[in-house]
Amino acid sequence: MRVQQSVGEVLPMARKALVALSTHDGAASGVIVSPEGLVLTAAHVVSDSKKHPAPGMRVRVYFDDGKQTMGTALGMDVATDAAMIQLDGQRKDWPFVELRRPQNPVLPGDWCFALGHPGGYDDKRGDVLRVGKIIKTMPNGFQSDCVLMGGDSGGPLFDLDGNLVGIHSQIWEGRDQNVHVSLAPFLRSWDIMKESEVVREWAQGSGGWLGIATRQSTSGAIEVADVADKSPAARAGLRSGDTLVSLDRRPVKTQSQFSAAIRARPAGDSVVLLVRNRSGDRIVTIKLASRPEE
Amino acid sequence: MSRFTTFAFAISLVALSSHAQEETTPLPADQQTNGTRTLDALSLVQNTTRPSIVQIIDENGETAQLGVVVTSDGYVITKASEVPGLDLVFAWSDGTQCAASVVLMDRGLDLLLAKADRSDTIPIAWSPSTKSERGEWMLSFNKPAASAMTIRLGNISASRRSIIGHGAALGIRMDNSRTSGVRIVEVATESPAEAAGIKTEDVLIALDDQPVTDTSSLSRVMMTLQPGEQVKLRIRRGPTEHDCSVRLASKSKVVANWDGEDYANGGVSLRTDNFPDVLQHQLPLNPHDMGGPLLNLDGQAIGINIARVDRVSTFALPMETFWNKVQQWIVADRKAMDGGVPEIRPAESPERVK
Between strands A198-199 and A68-77, the pairing is parallel
B13: nearest CB among A132, A187, A206 = A187
Model confidence at B329, in pLDDT bands (50, 70, 90)?
very high
Mutate one of A38, A136, A137, A173 to test the B interface: name it (highest B CB count within 10 A): A137
Torsion of CA B73, B77, B82, B86, to 10 degrees: 30
Residues of chain B with CATH 2.40.10.120: 39-162+281-352
* Chain A residues lying within 8 Å of B313, measured CB to CB: 118, 128
Contact (CB<8Å) B26/A130: no
Output phi, psi for A151, to 5 deg: 100, -25
pLDDT digits (tens, 9 = 90+) for B89-113: 999 999 999 999 999 999 899 999 9
Contact (CB<8Å) B263/A173: yes
Q: What is the pTM of this model?
A: 0.81
pLDDT 10s digit of each residue in chain A, 294 long?
789 999 999 999 999 999 999 998 789 999 999 999 999 999 999 998 778 889 999 999 999 888 999 999 999 999 899 999 999 999 999 999 998 754 457 899 999 999 999 999 999 999 999 999 999 988 889 999 999 999 999 999 999 999 999 999 999 888 999 999 999 889 888 888 999 989 887 665 456 788 888 888 888 889 998 888 888 999 999 999 999 999 888 888 887 778 777 766 667 778 899 999 988 999 999 988 877 754
Q: Domain B168-252 is in which class?
A: mainly beta
Chain B residue with Cα closest to A103: B18
Q: How many contacts, defined by CB atoms under 8 Å, are there between A and B?
A: 177
Contact (CB<8Å) A184/B133: no
Among A57-61, B146-150, B321-325, which stretch is predicted with the lowest mean pLDDT?
B146-150
Chain A residue with Cα closest to B159: A125
Q: Euclidean distance between the first and final Cα of chain B, in Å?
A: 84
> What integer is the mean pLDDT of B292-305?
97
Residues 236-265 of B with CB under 8 A from A: 256, 262-263, 265
What does DSSP assign to residue B346?
Answer: G
B12: nearest CB among A128, A171, A190 = A190
pLDDT above 70 for B342? no
* Chain B residues lying within 8 Å of A135, measured CB to CB: 26-27, 32
B155 at A interface, C-beta within 8 A: yes
Mutate one of A97, A149, A271, A291 to test the B interface: name it (highest B CB count within 10 A): A149
Chain A residue with Cα closest to B162: A124
A170 at B interface, C-beta within 8 A: no
A137: nearest CB among B18, B23, B154 = B23
Output phi, psi for A60, to 5 deg: -85, 135
* Chain B residues lying within 8 Å of A155, measured CB to CB: none
Q: Largest Cα–Cα distance in chain A? A: 72
A135: nearest CB among B26, B157, B159 = B26
B216 at A interface, C-beta within 8 A: no
Q: Are A185 and A43 in contact (CB under 8 A)?
A: no
Residues of chain B with CATH 2.30.42.10: 168-252
CATH fold of A1-205 reads Thrombin, subunit H (2.40.10)
For residue A93, count other CB atoms closer than 10 A to its CB: 8
Quick one: pLDDT at residue A264?
65
Contact (CB<8Å) A139/B17: no
- When the pLDDT of each residue in chain B is averaged and rounded to a whole number, the result is 87
The whole-angstrom separation of Cα B226 and Cα A164 is 44
The whole-angstrom separation of Cα A4 and Cα A103 is 20
Model confidence at B261, in pLDDT bands (50, 70, 90)?
low
Nearest chain B Cα distance for residue A50, angstroms: 20
Contact (CB<8Å) A102/B15: yes
* Chain A residues lying within 8 Å of B280, measured CB to CB: 125, 128
B160 at A interface, C-beta within 8 A: no
Contact (CB<8Å) A4/B265: no
Burial of B33 per CB tally in 10 Å (0-12, 13-18, 19+): buried
Quick one: pLDDT at residue A254?
81
* Chain B residues lying within 8 Å of A102, measured CB to CB: 15, 18-19
Model confidence at B24, in pLDDT bands (50, 70, 90)?
low
The whole-angstrom separation of Cα A190 and Cα B9 is 9
> What integer is the mean pLDDT of B238-253?
93
A266 at B interface, C-beta within 8 A: yes
Look up the ipTM and state it.
0.84
* Chain B residues lying within 8 Å of A133, measured CB to CB: 27, 31-33
B15: nearest CB among A101, A137, A139 = A101
Chain A residue with Cα closest to B267: A173
The whole-angstrom separation of Cα B101 and Cα B103 is 6
What residue ranges do the domains of chain A occupy? 1-205, 212-287
CATH for the B39-162+281-352 domain, from 2.40.10.120, 2.70.180.20, 2.60.260.20, 3.30.450.20:
2.40.10.120
CATH for the A212-287 domain, from 2.30.42.10, 3.40.720.10, 3.40.50.2300, 2.40.30.10:
2.30.42.10
Contact (CB<8Å) A109/B15: no
Residues 124-143 of A with CB under 8 A from B: 124-139, 143
